[in-house]
Amino acid sequence: MKSKKAQLQMGESIFVVIIILLLIVFGLVFASNAEEDSIRADKEDFLDLDSITLTKYASSLAELQCSLLDVTELSCFDIDKLTAFSNVTDKYPEISAEYYFSQFGNANITVHEIYPSNRNWTIYYNGLEDGEVGKIKTTTVPISLYDGITKRKSFGILEIQAISK
């Protein structure tokens, strides 16, 4: 009789332990899911932040900005410098590739001339490859484009795509 009672008591103890363990496991699963959601939200925030940083950096690149002597003009790109930039990045990847990758990372940066003519300059390209999945955040900034030969300005857009792979 007593042995049966002891068995029952032991069964009770085991049952309580199992329930506690189950509760802990459920708690952990819930916590890790919440953490995953929070990481996902953080990732989106970081992409937004990256996009702002990139836009700020790209629109103030000294090697592309219009300048008169030592004074640079905000939101203005020199067309001759855009051409020179493409030449240097094509011909001297050993100097330029790592530098710009460290500044821009995964992004595409293009300058579009909108008026009076339509021309495009790809400043930087490190986008998604075929079949690759990722999020793209596009920001556009209105800029003016200066032609040093004709001394005329045209209207353009700086398009920055920040990519999260």
Partner 1 sequence: MAKKNNKKGQLEIQFNWIFVIIIGAVILGFLLTFIFSQGDANDKKVSASIANNFETIITSTNQKIGTVKSYKVPDVDINFVCDQDQGLYYYSIGGVNAKDTKHELIFSSEHLRGTRIFTWTEKWSVPYQVATFLYITNDREHFSFVTSYPQTSLETDLIENFADNLSISILNQSATGFENVPSAGLNKMAYTFVVVDDLSNSPLPDPNDFIQTPHDRTRIILINPKSSSNIFESGKVAFLDFDTYKDFANGNTLAAEDETSSYFGKASLYASIFAGNKERYECGMSKAMSRLQLVTLMQYYKTISVEPYISSACKSYIIGSDFDEALWGARLVLKELNVTIADSDFGVQSADDIIGLISKLKNLNNKIVVESNCPLIY
Answer left, alpha or beta for residue 155, where phi above 0 means left and psi between -120 and 50 means alpha.
Answer: beta
104 binds partner 1 (CB under 8 A): no
53 binds partner 1 (CB under 8 A): yes
Q: Are 126 and 104 in contact (CB under 8 A)?
A: yes
One of 26, 30, 57, 125 touching partner 1 (CB under 8 A): 57
One of 11, 93, 134, 148 touching partner 1 (CB under 8 A): 148
70-99 mask for partner 1 (x: CB under 8 A)? Answer: x-x-----x-xx-xxx-xx---x--xx--x
Separation CA 45–CA 89 (nearest Å): 31
Q: Are 113 and 154 in contact (CB under 8 A)?
A: yes
Query: Can you say whether the dihedral through the CA atoms of 61, 66, 71, 73 is positive or negative?
Result: negative
Q: Where are the beta strands (DSSP E) in 35-91?
A: 65-68, 71-78
11-30 mask for partner 1 (x: CB under 8 A)? Answer: --x---x--xx--x---x--
One of 36, 37, 48, 63 touching partner 1 (CB under 8 A): 63
Closest contact distance (angstroms) between CB of 81 and partner 1 is: 6
